[in-house]
Amino acid sequence: MKLIQENEAPADGKARQAIKPVICYPPDTLPPVDRQMLNKARQAMQLIETVTVPPRDAATFEVPAGHFFRIVSSIGAQVGDLNLWSKHNLDERFYTGKTRALHGTHLSTGDRMWSSMPYIRPMATISHDTLDWYGFDEFGGSVHDVIGTRCDPYTGYLLQGDHYHYCCHSNLTRALGDYLGGDMARAETLVHDVLNVFMCTGFTQDTHQYFMKASPVRPGDFIEFFAEIDLVGGLSACPGGDCSSEHSSDHASCYPLIIEIYRPEDGTLDGWQSPAVNGYDGSHGR
Ligand SMILES: [Zn+2]
């Protein structure tokens, strides 16, 4: 937190601090998102499946490449923790760190969810976000972050000394374990850092600590994704509810989240191809 300063600034300290930053990964040379094509495809799409995620629990779902899925707020403000895996290789999973480096701390329309090394490719593209109006508030907060991790019982134990089983990490582990036919041990190794859907978060301006505040999501709001590859998703309805006060407990009001899967009309994705895995030759110079 940088609270301890035991060293004097050097004579040129102010000058070093005054150097202007440069963007680490300008995204201009990434494969472009064809929003015109996506908007055409999403206008004519048909709902083919609905999955309900119960409060303080998680569910898995499959989305074929070239389909859309929505995460919809149902009867009350609720935050969701989203994991994505490649259906044909669960070791290829969503990589929050690189997604954050490429698109910033919070995602919205036009941003992509990138997969882990050595596969790094787009897994999903955000095609619509009814909370895009929120932007960043006066505290530096926004929705749909890739800066948190997921609430988990291990950190809960470190901080509170209790055994709480309905954190998003445990919810996702149980749901993926069921998907794998009961292999909870393998499932736990595959659960990863999440997209915090609808959660409103940021870093405090003084100590730059991770904060949360009541989600601005309301029933009917949704975030929509275009599946770039065949996906398995996992979504946990966080025990924090709208995350206005606490998580990792049964105190907050929690509500279901709805996943809707849509098939676009034939012909609306002509010319589109599912992206191949990363083209780096993998030799690392040897
Ligand atoms: Zn959670």
38 to each of 51, 113, 129, 262, 266, how far by Cα in Å?
A: 23, 16, 13, 13, 13
Residue 112's closest CA among 279, 222, 228, 262? 228
CA of 111 relative to ligand 1 center, distance in Å: 22
pLDDT at 27 > cutoff 90:
no
CA of 262 relative to ligand 1 center, distance in Å: 26
Is the distance from CB of 248 to CB of 160 less than 8 angstroms? yes
pLDDT at 248 > cutoff 80:
no
Name 259's Cβ contacts closer than 8 Å, sequence gap at least 6. 50, 51, 52, 53, 59, 61, 69, 70, 71, 72, 233, 235
Terminal CA-CA length for the chain: 40
Residue 232's closest CA among 50, 83, 81? 83
Lowest mean per-residue pLDDT among 62-66, 237-241, 243-247: 243-247
- Mean pLDDT over all residues of the chain? 96
CA of 141 relative to ligand 1 center, distance in Å: 18
Is the distance from CB of 93 to CB of 84 less than 8 angstroms? yes
Sorted by where each begins, the domain ranges of the chain are 48-263
Is the bond leading into 275 cis (omega within 30 degrees of zero)?
A: no
Name 272's Cβ contacts closer than 8 Å, sequence gap at least 6. 34, 37, 66
Measured distance CA(64)–CA(51) in Å, rounded: 15
H or E, element range at 259: strand 257-263
The one-letter code for the residue type at 209 is: Q
CA of 28 relative to ligand 1 center, distance in Å: 33
pLDDT the model gives residue 251: 85
pLDDT at 196 > cutoff 90:
yes
- Confidence bin at 98 (pLDDT 50/70/90): very high
Helix 168-179 vs helix 153-160: crossing angle, to nearest 10: 150
Kindly report the number of other CB atoms within 10 A of residue 73's CB atom. Answer: 26
CA of 167 relative to ligand 1 center, distance in Å: 5
CA of 238 relative to ligand 1 center, distance in Å: 4
Using one digit for the tens of pLDDT, what is the confidence trace for 265-274? 999 999 999 9
